Chain A
Amino acid sequence: MKKIFRLVSPKILEVYSVQRSGKLSLLNVQEPTPKNSSKIRHLLISSDYSNWDTTQIENVAYKPNHDSNIFGSKSLLRNEHVVLTEPFYNLNTQYWAQAWTPKDSLNSVWKLTSKKTVVFPEALNISASDDNKCWQSGPLHLKYSKETGFSSILPETMGDQEVSKTLEGFFFSPNVKFERRRSKNSFSVALSSITFLACATFVWNYSLQETVNAWLKPPIIYENQLKTISIFRDYQNHISDGSLSSVEFDQRKGSMTLIFVSGAEAKSFRNKIMQLQNRKGAPKLQINKDTVILTVEVPK
């Protein structure tokens, strides 16, 4: 046995239990609140919230699309302001039925309930055991018709007929429902958002990350100009041909080490450059056998 709710008006919410046969039993009447409405999964709405119509179409091959508005000519509302149920065909009576409601009206219902709530217009989902049973649905009195298999509005001329205030003893058969559908527009926004995110992810991985990293952490550029090479150029004229064995430039120490083929050559070189050594800022000179070391002060 499951529960079904019936929204009679903005102030009245009835709770029914549904038996296996579909028979409704009224459990209680509440005022709709966000707390008790959020748990509703199946909701009947009275004629206060929806319109409907039924028709018999002779062409048995007629098959409308699921979003066809078969009673569009009878509605004063524009298509974009209306929510439709799918057209429903009653195999027993061979009648077509469809319900529609203004978007705002249905949105006010869905605002109250959860997104999963399935909304049934009661005129097309309630039946009675006999044709004489009538009930109050919003501002209207409805009467189940076995001929159509749906309900119709009880004419005012038949005002003496007994009208039930609730759906106690009536039967519920889920034929026609309003379902929350995502609009094409929101779908296109979702699709374009996904496209945007996919593009952003691709571009980030493809090139942007590299560019941003290079911008945030540029590579360190070293100045590798040899500090003592200019000194070597100054002194190389004083080096006899074939007397120098090797020369080493040390950036850390700021030194230049000249290794001569013999100690005599080293001494000869030292004697030649003694005059240059008197200059201001001249490199510090050290001699050890065949090795001459010239050192300049390295700025830290």
Chain B
Amino acid sequence: MTKFLTIILLFLSLGLLGTGFYFKKSSTEIIEADLQSFLLDEIGQVQLQQWKKYLNEKISIDYKSEKLLEIQAIGVSYDRVSGLIDNFQLIKYAKLHKLKLQGDQDNSSFNISAVLTLP
């Protein structure tokens, strides 16, 4: 009986370890596949580099408050405007409140700003 219990416990331990590694691997894969996973991390969600990577545009961030920020992209060329607007609309883990497009006729470009609330 004790031998049986010992074997069961050891198998359960192995099973647990396997499950743990499996969960870690799959959650890592999910995180790596999700371009917006940085928004679920309190540090990552305010990092300029993370936003630049996601929006694929040169931007600046104006931190209005702890959870409210305004992202500004200056001099966005005409052919990139649509993609940038789509990226703002596809944000999953933050609330988009305002999106403003301002034409810059001299430079034939747009200045785009978006106001967002973080989770």
Contact = CB atoms under 8 A, between A and B. Distances in A.
Interface in B1-33: 2-3, 5-6, 9-10, 12-14, 16-17, 19-21, 23-24, 27
A248 B103 contact: no
Contacts of B99: 226, 248-249, 251
Interface in A208-249: 208, 210-211, 214, 219-222, 224-226, 229, 242, 244-249
A251 B98 contact: yes
Contact of B93 (A202, A222, A242, A247): A222
A191 B6 CA distance: 8
A189 B98 CA distance: 63
A246 B12 CA distance: 64
Given A219-B92, A221-B93, A244-B103, 9 more contacts: A191-B6, A199-B16, A203-B20, A206-B20, A208-B20, A219-B119, A248-B99, A249-B100, A251-B96
A85 B7 CA distance: 31
Contacts of A250: 97-98
A203 B17 contact: yes
Contact of A207 (B2, B27, B95, B102): B27
Contacts of A198: 13
A222 B24 contact: no
Given A206-B24, A224-B91, A248 B98 contact: yes
A64 B27 CA distance: 58
Interface of B: 2-3, 5-6, 9-10, 12-14, 16-17, 19-21, 23-24, 27, 40, 85, 88-103, 105, 119
B84 to A, nearest CB: 13
Interface of A: 185-186, 188-189, 191-193, 195-196, 198-200, 202-203, 206-208, 210-211, 214, 219-222, 224-226, 229, 242, 244-252
Contact of A251 (B3, B19, B97): B97
B38 to A, nearest CB: 12
Nearest to A245: B103
A220 B16 contact: no
A220 B23 CA distance: 21
A191 B7 CA distance: 11
Given A188-B6, A224-B89, A219 B40 contact: yes
B13 A224 contact: no
A250 B101 CA distance: 12
A214 B9 CA distance: 28
A251 B119 CA distance: 17
A225 B95 CA distance: 10
Looking at A207, A211, A221, A247, which has the most chain B CB atoms within 10 Å of its CB? A207
A200 B17 CA distance: 8
Contact of B90 (A191, A202, A207, A224): A224
Nearest to B26: A211
Contact of B101 (A193, A200, A247): A247
A195 B2 contact: no
B24 A192 contact: no
Nearest to B93: A219
A183 to B, nearest CB: 8
A252 B97 contact: yes
Looking at B9, B96, B97, which has the most chain A CB atoms within 10 Å of its CB? B9
A62 B98 CA distance: 94
Contacts of B92: 219, 221-222, 224
Contacts of B93: 219-222
Nearest to A259: B102
17 contacts: A185-B3, A195-B9, A195-B10, A196-B13, A207-B21, A210-B23, A219-B92, A220-B93, A222-B94, A226-B89, A226-B99, A246-B101, A248-B100, A248-B101, A249-B100, A250-B97, A251-B99
